[in-house]
Amino acid sequence: MTVTTPAPTRTSASITVPSAVPPAGGFAIPWLPAGRTVTIDGRGEFFIREHRHQDATRPTVILLHGWTASSDLQFFTAYEALAEECSFVGIDHRGHGRGLRTPTEFSLEDAADDAAAVLRNLGETQVVAIGYSMGGPIAMLLARRHPDLVSGLITQATALEWNGTLRERLQWRWLPVMESALRSRIAGRFMKRFLEKMLADGHGLKQYIPWLRGESQRADIGTVKEAGKALATYDATAWAGNLDVPAGMLITTQDRLVKPRKQRALAMALGADVRVIATDHLGPWEQPDQFSSATIELLSLVSLIGSPATSGAPTES
């Protein structure tokens, strides 16, 4: 079933979190869960965000972010809503954000195994894996390679494969150019203008533009390029339908990066419950309330935590 998610009206008293750190000289920081480094013998050090719900019976979620992002950049607009409903762990992938720096070439399989190692270190089993964009393949690989750890799967703005058309294959050939651009001074100026245009006056996230700019510069550009190469060859067409876990899918219906038809193909392969929001690929920033609401609705379906599934939203045919 596909449901269109409206702007949410949520009333929950399970946890109280501040909306943001008050601005100091105009620099505001959103609420972020506690962060720490987890050391895994034989793998390295991993930065995580961690929140523990006061109700131990609530599900635990692992948040797997997209290409070029970090857990904070990808999910900060949903952190508070998630904190009300569940425990969660957010991990920065290799070379992204504060993630592991290693000479080993990036692979999606390694990223999934990293997440599994962190979960085992924390003593977590039976988690719901939420993956946005590149995090979708990582979440699916986590469920495939470590089925004992994953009890549910939520994929968001992602696809079964990323190279199915000639246009997509040609786009990936621009990775060396993208790498050079990201290493140049132009990148910082472009990001500033991009954010100011997207988060214009009146947008609730405008106050966080300086923070967003700073966080976006944490990545290791070489590893980001390698991650793009890994995405370019990813194809789960042959095995996605064999993942034996409850699944949900968030489709971004105006997405120009991952076409909605490709997102729907993934949802069909997974047999997923679907929620849709009318936004482009940066839905967590463009439509933060709808993104948070849709994520919580899908979590309620996949984990059976008992929250209302449709919130009165109309059902699409």
Task: Give the number of domains in the chain.
Answer: 1
In total, the chain counts a number of residues equal to: 317
At residue 170, the pLDDT reads: 76
23, part of any domain: yes
What is the rounded CA–CA span in Å between residue 134 and residue 110? 13
At residue 22, the pLDDT reads: 54
189, part of any domain: no
At residue 163, the pLDDT reads: 86
Please report which residue ranges of the chain form alpha helices under DSSP H. Answer: 71-85, 108-122, 135-145, 166-172, 175-183, 186-198, 209-216, 221-232, 260-270, 283-286, 288-303
128, part of any domain: yes
At residue 3, the pLDDT reads: 63
208, part of any domain: no
Check residue 11 and report its DSSP letter. -
Pair 136, 160: CB distance under 8 Å: no
Instruction: Output the six-digit token pair for 165.
Output: 């058309």
Residue-wise over 28-52: b if at least 16 C-beta within 10 A, else e? bbbebbeeeebeeeebbebbbbbbb
54, part of any domain: yes
87, part of any domain: yes
Please report which residue ranges of 86-242 form alpha helices under DSSP H. Answer: 108-122, 135-145, 166-172, 175-183, 186-198, 209-216, 221-232
The domain containing residue 86 runs over which residues?
2-175+222-316
At residue 20, the pLDDT reads: 60
At residue 315, the pLDDT reads: 34
Q: What is the mean pLDDT of each run of 10 residues along the chain (317 residues)?
A: 54 49 69 97 96 96 96 98 97 97 96 98 96 98 98 97 82 68 69 88 92 92 92 96 97 95 97 97 96 98 63 37
What is the rounded CA–CA span in Å between residue 91 and residue 100? 10
195, part of any domain: no
Overall pTM > 0.75: yes
Pair 292, 81: CB distance under 8 Å: yes
CATH of the domain at 44: 3.40.50.1820
